[in-house]
Structure 1
Amino acid sequence: MTLMILAHPDFKNSIANKTISESLAARLPDIEIRNIYNLYPDYQIDVDAEQQALLRHKLIILQYPMYWFNMPAILKIWFDQVFTYQFAYGSLGNKLKDKKLLVSMTVGQPEINFQKENHFLIDDFLQSVKQSAEYTQMNYLGYTALYGISPVSGIAKNAIAAKAEQHSGSLYSLIQKFC
């Protein structure tokens, strides 16, 4: 089974992340989606509930918009509080061993801005996620990104939704491949 940790600070106004998660839920009725902003608007993470969710699944997807070249704050807090000593690491901390981790993010800027000649590489921004996965003995599967979807750039909402629907289809294919 697949677990999606959804971390969008303004999900009710989201177009892309909402479309991706809702479309994926329609394709995969057994997916568990944990919208951590809805669950923890006060940022008080229920560590036991989150750890139990991780234990139930083989594939974990982190779904979020890129914020200032990083993950939203609540997702960092989630990592800090949920990936605990003797759960995720330490002499007895092998609970995440061999689980698969895939990042699915939305990026407002166009993909060309993240090519080598522009010095902004998504792989660089994801090093902390990759290292966290490796440190906890998870299998880091890389990332998939949906670029150029910022409504402030003048892209129509229906065009963003269409691109997000395509991204969801690609994500669905990756889930089928990895499960």
Structure 2
Amino acid sequence: MKKLIIPIGVLLLSNLTYAQLSTISNTENYIQTKVYLDYNGTSPTKSSEAVQYFDGLGRPKQIVNLQASPSGKDVVTHIEYDQFGRQVKNYLPVPQLSTSNGNYYSGPLGVYPTAYGNEKIYSEKVLENSPLDRVLEQKQVGNDWNGKSVKFGYEANSTEDKVRKWICK
């Protein structure tokens, strides 16, 4: 029995240490995914690769799609939180000027004027100041939608409202 357990334990530990070594990032938490889109029988010919980075609380903060633009450059989706940890801005994916093989981009929004011009590249939500975090107003992507937001209202029954209880027998 001992002859069987020791080799299996060594095999598992070698895979564990191999998983900790990375060429992408030594300082950021991330998950790397690779989806094979085409396979010719011996090797994959086409694949889609993405790296998702997380902050210290386990929330996603950036998604890098490797060579996803038509010119073969990286496409980065920036994720931002307010001071209460709520995601109030949803950014469009921004094509970068180069590829970094999945490394974290420190300023991914700096190049958006080349792709989107002067348009607003995020939708935003205005949340109420309560622990419920209900949406009060929502603005869509683009400068034209800035003045045309969707507003939400929340009300409760007053003392004048009659609530009836119907019982069927």
Instruction: Pick the TM interval, shorter chain.
Output: under 0.3
Which one has a bigger Cα radius of gyration? 2
TM-score for both structures, normalised by structure 2: 0.23
Q: Which has the higher strand share?
A: 2
TM-score for both structures, normalised by structure 1: 0.22
Higher normalized contact order (CA 8 Å, seq sep 6+, divided by chain length): 1
